[in-house]
Structure 1
């Protein structure tokens, strides 16, 4: 078996995020270049195409040829190593992946894999594990953690590391080294230690919003209070600790845990420009839909919103408009910020459209977290386009009378029936065939997903915007235009003359993002940590959001009456252009 070779000196687990996983000064360029550049390019293109089609038996011979012909392309080494690993040629996969780490790669579009260096380190560990070299596998896993690999919770259930499942060091790496005979309080203290260690390991520039001294003092206060707190109250304290760091990708999911799971009120709140309203409710409370929320307990709603901000780590205050309604629905948060004293029942004061007030008491229920809430469809109205197909990741409608294509992009993910790349090609084809002059991209419901799949859509939209002078690209944005969707918005804002309509966006162009997953070993509480810096604009871009060129807000009356003021504004602008021609 081959020896374990590390590509550069190890780093501490709490190293800064800008430490590179390779060394540019020890890898000199090769003097060997292809004799026939055209033939090399054709082979490379074909190999990449086969890899993206998962035809590895066809891809591997070509990849072997191109990496021998030219040794300085990290993309081809990555594909070769990944292909060897899938083909169970583990001894060949390891040096190929090491070479890819040494050179670096950003290739994307290959199904079921990703190319960050720390992911490649886990692949190397997987190869060593398959070869029965446990110590080398553990060493590479440790190295991946040191370079901020963010999915350690998946290791225990991974079939690729079954042989290591009982290894003590492996359990520690996976965050599941549980000591015996610990008291309840000791277990929570261990979870607190783990959370702090993961923040230090994963978080980019963790102490830009709160000083490290203040953070450490807060940790100590929580530790001292644990004996006097219930499990749910401890989880709330953990939420406030993570919230103190700022950044919208810091979040604890307060359900699905072994201990301290939260409950939720059976209503959904939303903040319109005229206040907070109930927009959805369980069958028992459906009569409350459309009611304006005046108070929770004895506290005016505006004050409650200010109080829950302490657990809402965010990129800007648009995210407070988006997510504060979610936290208002969690009784344990309301209790934690001092608005209520109990969690089983919560009192609300609401008013109807005539101003008549009612006092109601809601009983909390267990819930499953399936993502952050979106403005729901109307139940008794014909829904406008933006509410009609939220469950679809993306869809398209042509309006011939307006010479308009409406594209709603609700989630950065793939549909089984049509990939985002195929959908992007369909947009271009239809826009060209029908000579579409106005294209609306609606990002109001899109809070992100897998950003690596976005480039085909970005190219299609930029091509439309630049193809004909009369073409107009409109982008509708709002408070929960966030994460990967915000990266798309930033690109369109930077590279085109897209007309942005709606509210300010839910993030900054340059922001701390990504999602480093963690799961606390004893309680099973899980969540996210902001693990990467995204510079989607120039370095001097300090905007706190991307502001609309056409500011449009939404009132409760417009929503409940199925009106869309953003599309109304766009139709008005299109009409102006028509008259000017």
Structure 2
């Protein structure tokens, strides 16, 4: 790398970089073969060491207010103004707020972008807050405890009625402003938030960030349980809430409500990004695609060949693509798989299963199949709209280290036109609302049934 008179240049075997300093920006081009990419980088402010926690939070809020609207392209003029005003209000109220309240209000401010990928990473992708020793899931008839720390195994299967006197559904509505996306995505994400002592405190549901009292019913446990916040276990690795439905997804010795029983088909391989099985009783080829990412021991290309071999080896009358647990990843790696499957399954009954956890790249694949008039969608509505902004990156706040995720690439899978930008991932499909709506009840779950697959093979 060389710098001369405000200019920077660098050359590797495959990449050339040439840039010029213009004021506080570095502007230039990346050249790789015939591909040329223009870029502009802003200098990150160097904040002085804060004198106390209020000054530390003030610097974080200043960084969020100035950097996020520049990096995130999903903002409209109206949502950008709402975000700016919300951050200013947090800064004004800082002397009155706990750390937990600051984080909660920052998350809610970012959600004002109305784009589910624009968010403050507190749970799921990065866990930055203390959690309770239970894991919960919304069934069609209520919130249930499906996994616990060993000392709280007696709570497995209990229905949560309230949290410190706040009806549990109302508690879900109180934390809902932390997330954009639709109601289903809020249900999915609220299972994390309602399981965090710190976030429950931040949103005013509990008084203390160190514990929460849960009301319980429909189980042998006492009707009130005081749950302590566990020690901090911060991680930058993704943790999916749906993993807690699957007994086979081991979580450091935490017991799961289904125990060692064989779970329904869709929960048998939570550790596999993609897999298949032939169901001889109904002549159905079932493919589950859980994560848009390749696995080391089988590329997507190799998996595609194995699926084609399964078609050749069996009489197939129905094809099922299960995307209900696909929260995203790299949509490009499976485009060939989807196109090959679409061609091979022409003329047979074809179904796609979706749910509230179908998100991002999962939605893009559902939209691809929706283009074919004969394909039926079964299950719950996907977790976001068909038009959204994603990709992007993270802005690390200078003192808390919290990551504010920004989005800068539009995806338009509905019939609406793309935004007027240089690049847009575009499709044109009708609504992803299920043709056959199904909802998993608690009784169906403990009986290890799958209402979505039952609706398909029973047709």
* TM tier relative to shorter chain: 0.7 to 0.9
TM-score, length-normalised on structure 1? 0.66
Q: Which residue of 1 aligns with 2:291?
A: 411
Residue of structure 1 aligned with 2:312, choices 420, 423, 432: 432
Shift of 1:263: 0.7
Q: Which residue of 2 aligns with 1:217?
A: 85
TM-score, length-normalised on structure 2? 0.83
Q: Which residue of 2 aligns with 1:364?
A: 229
Is residue 154 of structure 2 the alignment partner of residue 267 of structure 1? no
Q: Which residue of 2 aligns with 1:286?
A: 153
- Measure, in 2, the Cα distance between the counterparts of 1:361 and 1:183: 33
- Measure, in 1, the Cα distance between the counterparts of 2:63 and 2:260: 48
- Measure, in 1, the Cα distance between the counterparts of 2:71 and 2:265: 40
Residue of structure 2 aligned with 1:562, choices 448, 452, 457: 448
Shift of 1:255: 6.8
Q: Deviations over 1:26-82 (max 9, x none)?
A: xxxxxxxxxxxxxxxxxxxxxxxxxxxxxxxxxxxxxxxxxxxxxxxxxxxxxxxxx
Shift of 1:522: 2.1
Shift of 1:401: 3.0
Worse-superposed segment, 521-530 or 283-292: 521-530
Q: Which residue of 1 aligns with 2:422?
A: none
Q: Deviations over 1:157-201 (max 9, x none)?
A: xxxxxxxxxxxxxxx74x473434654433322211221223212
Is residue 197 of structure 2 the alignment partner of residue 331 of structure 1? yes
Shift of 1:453: 0.8
Q: Which residue of 2 aligns with 1:379?
A: 259
**Structure richer in helix, relative to its length:** 1
Q: Which residue of 1 aligns with 2:251?
A: none
- Measure, in 2, the Cα distance between the counterparts of 1:439 and 1:322: 27
Is residue 416 of structure 2 the alignment partner of residue 551 of structure 1? no
Q: Which residue of 2 aligns with 1:348?
A: 214
- Structure 2 CA distance for partners of 1:494 and 1:542, relative to 1, 3 Å: closer
Q: Which residue of 2 aligns with 1:422?
A: 302
Residue of structure 1 aligned with 2:388, choices 511, 516, 526: 511
C-alpha contact 2:137 2:144 (8 A) present in aligned 1 = yes
Is residue 75 of structure 2 the alignment partner of residue 206 of structure 1? yes
Aligned residues: CA RMSD: 3.3
SS for the counterpart of 1:349 is: strand
- Measure, in 1, the Cα distance between the counterparts of 2:168 and 2:158: 13
- Measure, in 2, the Cα distance between the counterparts of 1:2 and 1:516: 27
Q: Which residue of 2 aligns with 1:532?
A: 409
Shift of 1:353: 5.1
Q: Which residue of 2 aligns with 1:299?
A: 166
Which runs of 5 or more structure 2 residues have no equivalent in the other structure?
Answer: 5-9, 32-36, 247-257, 418-426
Shift of 1:487: 0.1
Q: Deviations over 1:544-572 (max 9, x none)?
A: 96111111111001111211111111110
Aligned residues: 423
- Measure, in 2, the Cα distance between the counterparts of 1:446 and 1:396: 15
SS for the counterpart of 1:402 is: coil
Residue of structure 2 aligned with 1:189, choices 46, 54, 58: 58
SS for the counterpart of 2:458 is: helix
Which runs of 5 or more structure 1 residues have no equivalent in the other structure?
Answer: 5-83, 95-123, 153-171, 574-581
Worse-superposed segment, 378-387 or 535-544: 535-544
Shift of 1:403: 1.7
Q: Which residue of 2 aligns with 1:392?
A: 272
- Structure 2 CA distance for partners of 1:363 and 1:197, relative to 1, 3 Å: same
Q: Deviations over 1:433-453 (max 9, x none)?
A: 434232211111110001121
- Structure 2 CA distance for partners of 1:255 and 1:309, relative to 1, 3 Å: closer
- Structure 2 CA distance for partners of 1:89 and 1:428, relative to 1, 3 Å: same
- Structure 2 CA distance for partners of 1:427 and 1:275, relative to 1, 3 Å: same
Q: Deviations over 1:250-303 (max 9, x none)?
A: 22222799xx94211111111111111111111111111111110100111121
Worse-superposed segment, 433-442 or 342-351: 433-442
C-alpha contact 2:392 2:406 (8 A) present in aligned 1 = yes
- Structure 2 CA distance for partners of 1:300 and 1:543, relative to 1, 3 Å: farther
Q: State which structure, 1 or 2, has the greater radius of gyration over its C-alpha atoms.
A: 1
- Structure 2 CA distance for partners of 1:299 and 1:3, relative to 1, 3 Å: closer
C-alpha contact 2:132 2:195 (8 A) present in aligned 1 = yes
C-alpha contact 2:184 2:383 (8 A) present in aligned 1 = yes
SS for the counterpart of 1:239 is: helix
C-alpha contact 1:482 1:507 (8 A) present in aligned 2 = yes
- Measure, in 2, the Cα distance between the counterparts of 1:230 and 1:407: 47
Shift of 1:476: 0.8
- Measure, in 2, the Cα distance between the counterparts of 1:528 and 1:538: 27
Q: Deviations over 1:188-221 (max 9, x none)?
A: 222112212232122234147x544433322221
**Structure richer in strand, relative to its length:** 2
C-alpha contact 2:300 2:333 (8 A) present in aligned 1 = yes
Residue of structure 1 aligned with 2:366, choices 489, 495, 508: 489
